[in-house]
Copies of this chain bind each other. A is one copy, B any other.
Amino acid sequence: MIKTSVFVATSLDGFIAREDGRIDWLDAAQGMVPDGEDCGYQDFMATVDGLVMGRNTFEQVLSFPQWPYGELPVVVLSHQAIALPAAISKTVTVTAESPADLLARLAAAGRQHLYVDGGKTIQSFLATNLINEIIITVIPILIGTGKPLFGALPQDVQLAHVRSRCYDFGFVQHHYRVLNCSLNATNQSPI
């Protein structure tokens, strides 16, 4: 049984980045966060044994001064080949599999909890009922336009609210469980 989670920050109007990819508004907000407060990120990361992201997110992460995921296996969804830097070639793989095929393969390989990241990747997993839980940290700002967390869906996605946590510095973190996720079916193959 494999589980998939989204863990992401958005503006109150639901954007994960500006149209051009900038997250200056998020960086500015992070500046208000007390040292050592990571809004549950490390605790969350300790529960996952794999990360799935799209090509855009991967290229953004590659631009960071340091690869932030250590030994965690990372799968990049891309229909184009990607030349991987040697330093991460042991933990990063690239695939053009569909979300369902990828999850079936990772579940068969014993993976238990995947972190699904990146707007388009999250949207494609949600559209195919392959997300179990959504953890959103809402930053107290409206940016008006940008890259949205959510996208079009072939059907409504029913959620259950699990909990919300309010931080003194204005962030609010919401935890939802997806009720009609196909990965919830306990008596069936996970896909």
Q: Is A158's CB under 8 angstroms from B140's CB? A: yes
Query: How many Å from the CB of A94 to the closest CB on chain B?
Result: 29
Q: Is A191 an interface residue (CB 8 A)?
A: no
**Within the oligomer, what is the number of copies of this chain?**
2
Beyond A150-B142, A156-B141, A161-B166, whether A176 also contacts B25 by CB under 8 A is no
Q: Is A164's CB under 8 angstroms from B172's CB? A: yes
Q: List 30 A-B contacts (CB under 8 A).
A: A12-B134, A12-B150, A12-B159, A12-B176, A13-B150, A14-B150, A25-B156, A126-B142, A140-B158, A140-B159, A140-B161, A141-B157, A141-B158, A141-B159, A142-B153, A142-B159, A143-B153, A144-B150, A144-B154, A144-B155, A144-B156, A144-B157, A145-B152, A160-B170, A161-B171, A163-B166, A164-B164, A164-B166, A164-B172, A172-B174
